[in-house]
Structure 1
Amino acid sequence: MSLIDEPLPPPAAPAEAEKPAGTLRPASGARLVDPFGRHVTYLRVSVTDRCDLRCVYCMSEHMTFLPRRELLTLEELDRLCSAFVARGVRKLRLTGGEPLVRRDLMRLVASLSRHLACGTLDELTLTTNGTLLERFAAELAGHGVRRVNVSVDSLDPERFRTITRRGDLHQVLRGIEAARRAGLKVKINTVALKGVNEDEIVPMLEWAHGEGMDLTLIEVMPMGEIEPGRLDQYLPLPLVRERLAERFSLIDLAERTGGPARYVRVRETGGRLGFITPLTHNFCESCNRVRLTCTGRLYMCLGQEDAADLRAPLRSSASDELLMAAIDDAIARKPKGHDFVIDRRHTAPAVPRHMSVTGG
């Protein structure tokens, strides 16, 4: 089976379900506020659980992916995203798996761009492994995408292939260059892996900043069973920061980009460096996001298993009422924080699902 697949359409809906995408409007127009007073303004949407790589910290080498029939259609994803935009979500990020392997994804991007045009959405963006970015960068820019995050965990081709189990670094670098030519701002994401790429963090920083790109370092997250142990992979970022501070002047920044990273300015390079630390310093107190899977499950917290089924109310009625009620019920269950732990007493995953299910 090809990785680039469109799901089969769902069973035929009643005739009244032929409602144009994007017409959802809540009766009250109420914004989404969780039990702790946090406004939910950021939706991450996993458009597929499939990926053309098998990164050692993310997936098992021999993954079993969802049957196509279980995935939402692009039209259904559009309708769900539009429902959240109607409730005050200002940022949409498309993720995977690898989002660009989803067949006809540009059709969804083009449709969602209407929210940018009318001002109800501030940003439509994408996280990608970069393997298909050369092909799609210009089209993404044409639909109003202004920046993308690209995962690069090594600048050594052989090490990159080892970490991804099959990736071609040069293909990814061509994708990054195509994105920059298209006018997209690129941020590099690097997962810090103990004994694997920790010696590359300084070269990665110097390369990214030298090319005018931000760099964000990420701690491994205990999600899903994988072959190498997470304890063996885990590199605490406070330790990394201490090492960097011996060589660079790191100036704390108050600015945030809507995600979990905490940023510093590196005086010597002039570039910005982010740290995402779900284990050593979680970012839950300011969490403004929820995650939608390609099957219509809404996870209110990356590190918890509680999820809401939005596919059933989406498909059961053309009316907005059931869907909006399901969203309200889900946000009312958003927890205060996650339970990620990695140490010698907690070597099992905190949650059984792989990161590719919810996109990190």
Structure 2
Amino acid sequence: MQVANDIKESQKLIDPFGRHVSYLRVSVTDRCDFRCVYCMSEDMTFLPKKDLLTLEELDRLCSAFVDQGVQKLRITGGEPLVRRDIMWLFNRLGRHLDSGKLEELTVTTNGSLLKKYAQELYNAGVRRINISLDTLDEEKFRTITRWGRLPQVLEGIEESLRVGLKVKLNAVALKGVNDDEVDHMIQWCGERNIDLTFIEVMPMGDLGNEDRLEQYWPLSDVKRQIEQSWTLNETGYQTGGPARYSVIQETGARLGFITPLTHNFCESCNRVRLTCTGTLYMCLGQEDAADLREPLRASKDDDLLHDRIRQAIKLKPKGHDFIIDRDSQISNPRHMSVTGG
């Protein structure tokens, strides 16, 4: 264990602003079985399957980051569990947990396939999962996801809790949609010892007819509404992500806020994102990118790949510039499903 930690300390990825990049989010597919109104247009065009990295290549890339001090891997999509043979990748990456080089392997999912995969995820070493769920109302759920079924997701949550996974719900705050459900969601999560995080709508990707300004509900307003009914005690709890947490005194559960617009979290950003095509984005809201597929395929030796990763981290910007107003509803043309949620 000590050898693994020494290796990580000596090869830390440090960006130009002194931030230690220790967290890699990996999109394994841009495809999803939902079409959420703030994430995708209903008529999405997905990447040809031939353009995607193989699972073996994704394993090698993730392992290269782990060798350079990344301590947390989050598998994302699209919906990661729709990727064929995805559990092979989870099981392979689990070896880094066993060695002590990796502290956490986790996943963000819409929950549609958790009833099938929860036990296998636990067996692979996953202990904590994020589930994107914006409403507990079945009719609203159909409207938001377009293609989803709420009972299927709730069964997946139940199975995840049964096998011992720690569950956190991520809910995008949507004005006029779920603004009347906040108290119910807090109560529901508290009864199940589930953490809940609210997220502001991010101005990424063209959503067709959807008006993102109409969707946008600042979390400063959400928090004020919550505090009318609940007592929030601030805490220093961190998961390695951008959420700021409080503990709800009445339930004991944690409540997080991710505020890319009203109060960005760039000063402590420790994350980079790898797409399913091998493109590394140093910032969710910027167009800075590095191609890792080329050095990955150029040599079976990882020296070139390691060097390209280090060079890419040197390009990490100080922060993003998300803005939502009537004239600018798209700050970045990439859909979230392309970059990885």
Interval containing the TM-score (normalised by the shorter chain): over 0.9
Look up the equivalent residue of 2:11 and give its one-letter code: A
Confirm or deny: 8 A CA contact 1:50 1:101 kept in the other structure. yes
Look up the equivalent residue of 1:154 and give its one-letter code: T
Confirm or deny: 8 A CA contact 1:31 1:39 kept in the other structure. yes
Please name the residue that 1:231 is paired with.
Answer: 213
Aligned partner (choices 170, 186, 195) of residue 214 of structure 1: 195
Please name the residue that 1:287 is paired with.
Answer: 269
**1:179-213: per-residue Cα shift (whole Å, max 9, x none)?**
11111010011000010111111111110111110
Please name the residue that 1:243 is paired with.
Answer: 225
- CA positional deviation for 1:318: 1.2
- Supply the distance in 2 between the matched residues of 1:203 and 1:75 (Cα, whole angstroms): 43
SS in 1 for 2:21: coil
Please name the residue that 2:3 is paired with.
Answer: none
Aligned partner (choices 24, 39, 63) of residue 43 of structure 1: 24
- CA positional deviation for 1:29: 5.0
Look up the equivalent residue of 1:339 and give its one-letter code: D
SS in 2 for 1:161: helix
Please name the residue that 1:17 is paired with.
Answer: none
2:126 paired with 1:145: yes
Please name the residue that 1:20 is paired with.
Answer: none
Please name the residue that 2:138 is paired with.
Answer: 157
- Supply the distance in 1 between the matched residues of 2:94 and 2:11 (Cα, whole angstroms): 23
- Supply the distance in 1 between the matched residues of 2:134 and 2:222 (Cα, whole angstroms): 15
- Supply the distance in 1 between the matched residues of 2:323 and 2:307 (Cα, whole angstroms): 33
Please name the residue that 1:18 is paired with.
Answer: none
2:176 paired with 1:190: no
SS in 2 for 1:170: helix
- CA positional deviation for 1:84: 0.3
Aligned partner (choices 305, 308, 319) of residue 323 of structure 1: 305
2:339 paired with 1:358: yes
- CA positional deviation for 1:319: 1.7
Please name the residue that 1:79 is paired with.
Answer: 60
Aligned partner (choices 244, 250, 253) of residue 235 of structure 2: 253
Please name the residue that 1:334 is paired with.
Answer: 316
Confirm or deny: 8 A CA contact 1:225 1:352 kept in the other structure. yes
- Supply the distance in 2 between the matched residues of 1:356 and 1:217 (Cα, whole angstroms): 19
Look up the equivalent residue of 2:217 and give its one-letter code: L
Gaps (5+ residues) in structure 1?
Answer: 1-25
What is the number of residues matched between the two proteins? 334
Aligned partner (choices 2, 6, 13) of residue 32 of structure 1: 13
Q: Report runs of 4+ in structure 1 exceeding 4 Å deviation.
A: none
Please name the residue that 1:274 is paired with.
Answer: 256
**What's the TM-score, normalizing by structure 2?**
0.96
- CA positional deviation for 1:148: 0.6
Please name the residue that 2:109 is paired with.
Answer: 128
Look up the equivalent residue of 2:20 and give its one-letter code: H
- Supply the distance in 2 between the matched residues of 1:153 and 1:287 (Cα, whole angstroms): 25
**What's the TM-score, normalizing by structure 1?**
0.91
Please name the residue that 1:311 is paired with.
Answer: 293
- Supply the distance in 1 between the matched residues of 2:146 and 2:140 (Cα, whole angstroms): 9
- Supply the distance in 1 between the matched residues of 2:133 and 2:222 (Cα, whole angstroms): 17
Q: How does 1:55-94 map to 2 (within 5 A)?
A: 55-94=36-75
- Supply the distance in 2 between the matched residues of 1:172 and 1:346 (Cα, whole angstroms): 34
- CA positional deviation for 1:325: 1.4
**1:88-112: per-residue Cα shift (whole Å, max 9, x none)?**
0000000000000000000000000
Please name the residue that 1:297 is paired with.
Answer: 279
2:97 paired with 1:97: no
- CA positional deviation for 1:345: 3.1
**1:252-283: per-residue Cα shift (whole Å, max 9, x none)?**
11121100000011111111100000000000
- Supply the distance in 1 between the matched residues of 2:289 and 2:99 (Cα, whole angstroms): 31
- Supply the distance in 2 between the matched residues of 1:30 and 1:188 (Cα, whole angstroms): 34
- Supply the distance in 1 between the matched residues of 2:270 and 2:252 (Cα, whole angstroms): 29
Gaps (5+ residues) in structure 2?
Answer: 1-6
Q: How does 1:337-348 map to 2 (within 5 A)?
A: 337-347=319-329
- Supply the distance in 1 between the matched residues of 2:303 and 2:253 (Cα, whole angstroms): 47
- CA positional deviation for 1:344: 2.2
- CA positional deviation for 1:31: 1.1
**1:34-56: per-residue Cα shift (whole Å, max 9, x none)?**
00000000000000000000000
Identity between Structure 1 and Structure 2 (%):
66
Look up the equivalent residue of 1:284 and give its one-letter code: C
- Supply the distance in 2 between the matched residues of 1:164 and 1:56 (Cα, whole angstroms): 6
- Supply the distance in 1 between the matched residues of 2:95 and 2:198 (Cα, whole angstroms): 33
- Supply the distance in 1 between the matched residues of 2:102 and 2:11 (Cα, whole angstroms): 16
- Supply the distance in 2 between the matched residues of 1:79 and 1:188 (Cα, whole angstroms): 30
SS in 1 for 2:180: helix
Give RMSD over aligned pairs: 1.2
Look up the equivalent residue of 2:318 and give its one-letter code: K
Confirm or deny: 8 A CA contact 1:29 1:86 kept in the other structure. no
